[in-house]
Structure formats: C-alpha cells, structure tokens
Structure 1
C-alpha cells in the first residue's frame, strides 16, 4: 500500500464537532497521517489540543501563514500534501487560495467561500494546476445516497418529474429569540458567515444532494426567506422553488427554527416510472416506490447494490454505518485522486460543486430581496 498521505488541519480544535468528524474520517481507511496543524488562533491552545489527541507538536504552527511558509522549506516527501480547512466561513477563501497557489491539495468545508466571485477565483486557480480540491458535502458519502445516484443514472425512475428536498434543524431556537445571543454568534454575522445563514449552512446541502443524486442541474430558483426579527441580518428559515431543464420542478425546504428537529435532511425524487426516498437520520434505508408494486427497501452491503455504493460500505449487511463513515468515503476518494488512481466521479464533491453552491446561496438571497422573483443560476 502506498505511504500515508500527509495531512494538515486548519481549525477544528477543542470540542469542534466538525474537527473530530474530519480527523476520525481521515483515519478510517488508513490513508492519511496528520502531520501539521493550526487548530486554534492561540498557539498555546493548539499545542495543548495536539497533545490531547496525541499528535506531535513540532509542526503545530502559530498561524496559517507560518504553516505554509515552514512546510515549503521541508523536502517534498516530508511536507504536508493536503490541508483540510475547518474554520469559520470567512477564512475559507484566503486559506484555499494560498494553498492552491503554493501547490497544496485542499479539502474544504462548505460553503467553499463566502461569495460567488471568490469561488470563481478559486476555480481559475485550480484550472491552472494539477491539484485536487474537495468540498465536504458529507451526505454524498453515504452508501445509500450513492446507490440512489446510480439507480437514477441507470434510468430506474424514468424521466424525472419532481424533486423534494428538506433540511430541518431546530438548533438556533435558543439563540435567535435572545437579542444578545443572536448578536454574538458568528453564524449570524455576515462578516464571518457570508450573506446567508440557513441556506448557506444547510440549504446548500439539500441543493447539492439534488444535483448529486439526479445528475440534473437546477436552472432557476424562487426563494422566500425568513429572518424572524428585524434586527437579524441572516436568514434562519426558507423555502426555495426550483426548476430544471425541461418540465421537471422541485422544492427545497430548509430551516434552523424547526422546533424539535435534529438533523432532518431528506430527499425524494419522483420519475414517471418510480420514485426513491432517503432520510439522513435513517441513512441505511433507501425506499423505492412505484404505482404498481409494494415499497422496496434497499440496504447497504448487499450484492444488489451498485459498485459505487458497495465501495463505500465497510461492514457486512445489518451493521449500521453513519456520518463518520460517510465523511471517510469522501476522504478515500480524495486519496485516490491525489495518488492518481482510478475513481468514480461520485466519490467526492469537487470545486465545481462548491462554485454551484455559492451560486445557489447568492441566488436565493437575490430572489428574496427582489420580491420573491425567479432568478437564473449561471451554468
């Protein structure tokens, strides 16, 4: 087996959920070794955290700029090959840009940047390079969403007629109703989060899931966003109507004030021959429906699944896999790409998905601000 890929981590220290998700995912398939990091803006905290998770501290750097500068001084076979960007949104673009300019592969949390223009700048940089850039839309890593993608690609549903994607959470309720709290979280600060909270954070996942599973590109959208309070600058709820080429239509429903909801991402795709439905909170079940047959349930690990689905399954049937495994499948695909190995285009979201995501986010806000009018997404 080739030597492990040398991985650097930016952000994700302390009790960060996204940090532990990425670190564990990088280890699951034995492809990566974390060799350097800036876990925290405070060097002392970064070193302390590195010791807690048993990572050598000699390449824990004071800041991002120092990491790039010092790593470039090392022999190529020793330096970091790929960096995972796990910071608040406003840092994604400057970090990704500098990494690409200096020859590092990138794994970036979504949204890839805070503006569509920034995303296009990164795209131009990547096009001039021979580097790998992944955006961690984690839910594309589940075996059953991959099975959904392959079944739709094979024509199992016939012509797509309707798509319904929902992403409901309730986590922001304790914050949004307290004026002092909603003014202190970075998620509701446009300077740090970008122009959208709900659509920028979770609505974009639903958007990505639609395009990932159906293979279709959304052509235009009409958005109605909810800010709830006049002094709140960021959307925390919204509904988006979507149109595809031809006559297919759909809806994205996204909320962070859906009281009692946890992580309710669901997607249903309806064709003229049948339909498929998947729920993130029950990720090992893919429901196949039709007008003339009982509902069928597809589960991971069985020989009836596609090669892409089985490649993302690590355990025998009946052994539940979850979010760590889904993220690990993305890291596995990136490892194959970095090593120049053959891989399926569905193994990890690319910069193109990141650019499309920013196009969607900005278009939803534009549609809402223009009085809930239709806005075309740029191809």
Structure 2
C-alpha cells in the first residue's frame, strides 16, 4: 500500500472558504497527509490555526523561505512533496516559481499569476523542474461536467455551432458602492489582484470551462467591461464575445454586481444535432436537448455515463455531490500524476490551462481598452 503524499499549504488560514475547500478535498480519497505550511503571515497565528485543525506544529514555518530550507534538509521520503498555494493573486507567481525551482510539485489557485508574461516564465520553470503543476479550476472536477466533455468529444451533439457561458455573482455589490470599502479590498487593488477583478476571478473560470468541455480553443476575443465608478481601477462586470473559427462563435457573460445572484455559473454548448446545458447551482443535472425530442436529464453515478464521469462519482445515484467533491477529484488526479500512475488528461487543469487563462484576461482587458475590438489569443 502506497504512503500518503505529504502536503503543505500556503495561505488558507482563519475562516478562509478556499482553505477549508482544499483541506477537505485533499483528504477525500486518502491520498494526502497535510503536514505543515504557512497558513498566515504571522507564525504565531499559523501555529494557532494548526492546533485548531489538529495537525502538528513542528512543520509550521514563518514564511516560504523557511519552509523550502527546512523541508529540503529532511530525507526525500519525509519532506513535503506538493504545496498548495491559496494566497492572494500577487503571491502566486513568486511562490510557485520558488517551489518549482526547489523540486516541489505545485497545486495553485487561479488565476495562476497576475500577468501572461509571468505565466510563460512559470511554464519554462516547470519544464526544467519536471514537477507536476495543477491549477484549481474547480468546476472541471464535477462528474456531469466530465460527462459533458466526453459526450462532446464522442460527437454526441455533432459539430459545435454556439457556446454561451454565464457566470453571475452579486457579492461585490456591498463593497463597490462604498468609496472607502472599494479602495481597501485586495480584490480591487491591481497591485495584489492583477489587471482584472471580474474577468480574472470568475471570467477565467468560464474561459477554462469552455475550452475544457468543448475541446476547442478560443482564437479571438472582443470585450466590453464595466468599472462602474471612475476611481475603481478594476472591472467588476463584463461581456466578452468569442471566436473559435469563422463559423463557431460564443459569449462569456460575467458579473460580480448581478444583485441577488450567488454563484450562477451556467454552461451551454449547442451542436448541430443536440445541445448540452449545466448549472453549477444544480450540478447533478446535465440537460440534453434535441430537436423534436423531450429534454433528457442525465445524472451522476449511472452506468450510461463515461468512465471519466464515473471515476469522479463517489456516491450512489440520487445522493448530491458538490464543490468539495469537485475539488477532491482534482486533488485525486494530481495524486495519480505525482505517484506516476495512469490518469486521464481531463482529471486536472495543468499549467497550460493557467497560461491560457492569463492570456485571456490580458486580451479581454486589451480589447476593452482599445475600444471594444477583436484581439487575437496567442496559440
């Protein structure tokens, strides 16, 4: 029986939603053991948090430099093998680069970096290190999204002719209308978040999802973004038109000021023979729509689903699975890669997905700034 992969975490302490999501996901398949990390900028707070979640404090470090130095003093069989980066965006690149240069595998929150240039540098660093690198575009882990991907790849809906993805939230509404609050949240600070808020935070999820399920790559984008106030430097709403080819087009509608919305992420792919639709707030239902036929609803756990979908299903049909399970499937795929086991390429987003995401963010902002014109995505 193989030993558990030793996991370290950077960030995610306190009442962080993303922290508990990663911790639960990593424990889901008994593949990982959380042994330490840096949960908070203050070591004393990190130690308190480690005690709270029930892990030893001997491998809680004051910063990443100390983690790298001390872990590399340990025998290879004992040191941390993979580190999850759950910090604000501006720390992703320097942390990931340092970890890769020192032989650690990396699981990184999105967006992978704050610039496309940084993403390409990270790509070269990862190639030289040979380490596994995953970006947590969480929703690709849902069983019915994986079923959607496999149905499209098998030709079930025919040639794709229209893609429509909506990601609406309303969480920033109480912040954006208060001058002091919008000036003091890191999400709206370009120095910490990068050049985009809405596109960088949720638009990139939509972009990655489109390329994941469709198997197509976006060639050009035309964006119209909304900043709402003159003193607000980052977009909080946007509509982005997409071109995949001359006759295949799509749209991303993303907003963080959609009042009353919680996490309304809807993915619709229309082919010449059928359409598929999935809604994140009802993730167990994949809708199959065909001309002249009643709409069909596919659900996880049934033998009519693909192997990739069934591998990501942990419960019998009729038992809801959610975002923890989705992230858990990504961690499971990374574990297989680290352990050099066979795995499906759709099991976790890679550094390529992170690079594509950063390229998309920058091109969307460029398109808007140039007066809403078409801008080419790099191949």
Q: Normalising by the residue count of structure 1, what TM-score does the alignment of the two structures yield?
A: 1.00
Q: Which residue is equivalent to 2:264?
A: 264
Q: Which runs of 5+ in 1 are unaligned?
A: none
Q: CA deviation at 1:242?
A: 0.1
Q: Secondary structure at the match of 2:72?
A: helix
Q: Which residue is equivalent to 1:320?
A: 320
Q: Secondary structure at the match of 1:187?
A: helix
Q: Which residue is equivalent to 2:111?
A: 111
Q: Which residue is equivalent to 2:91?
A: 91
CA distance in 2 between counterparts of 1:127 and 1:269 reads: 33
CA distance in 2 between counterparts of 1:135 and 1:2 reads: 25
Q: Which residue is equivalent to 1:53?
A: 53
Does residue 342 of structure 2 align to residue 342 of structure 1?
yes
Q: Which residue is equivalent to 1:247?
A: 247
1:339-369 deviation digits (Å, cap 9, x = unpaired) = 0000001000000000000000000000000
Does residue 201 of structure 2 align to residue 201 of structure 1?
yes
Q: Which residue is equivalent to 1:25?
A: 25
- Describe how 1:200-239 pairs up with structure 2 within 5 A: 200-239=200-239
- Describe how 1:351-366 pairs up with structure 2 within 5 A: 351-366=351-366
CA distance in 2 between counterparts of 1:245 and 1:333 reads: 31
CA distance in 1 between counterparts of 2:341 and 2:58 reads: 32
Q: Secondary structure at the match of 1:251?
A: strand
Return structure 1 stretches of 4+ with deviation > 6 angstroms.
none
Q: CA deviation at 1:246?
A: 3.9
Q: Which residue is equivalent to 1:140?
A: 140
Q: Secondary structure at the match of 2:219?
A: strand
Q: CA deviation at 1:53?
A: 0.2
> Pairwise CA RMSD of aligned residues?
0.5
Q: CA deviation at 1:245?
A: 2.5
- Describe how 1:150-229 pairs up with structure 2 within 5 A: 150-229=150-229
Q: Which residue is equivalent to 2:300?
A: 300
Q: Secondary structure at the match of 1:361?
A: helix
Q: CA deviation at 1:321?
A: 0.5
Q: Which residue is equivalent to 2:375?
A: 375
Number of matched pairs = 379
Q: Secondary structure at the match of 1:73?
A: coil
Q: Which residue is equivalent to 1:329?
A: 329
CA distance in 2 between counterparts of 1:211 and 1:292 reads: 28
Q: Secondary structure at the match of 1:308?
A: helix
CA distance in 2 between counterparts of 1:370 and 1:230 reads: 17
Does residue 285 of structure 2 align to residue 285 of structure 1?
yes
Q: Which residue is equivalent to 1:64?
A: 64
CA distance in 2 between counterparts of 1:45 and 1:146 reads: 39
Q: CA deviation at 1:131?
A: 1.1
CA distance in 2 between counterparts of 1:348 and 1:53 reads: 27
CA distance in 1 between counterparts of 2:268 and 2:182 reads: 33
CA distance in 2 between counterparts of 1:127 and 1:56 reads: 33
CA distance in 1 between counterparts of 2:325 and 2:310 reads: 13
CA distance in 2 between counterparts of 1:251 and 1:142 reads: 22
CA distance in 1 between counterparts of 2:352 and 2:130 reads: 15
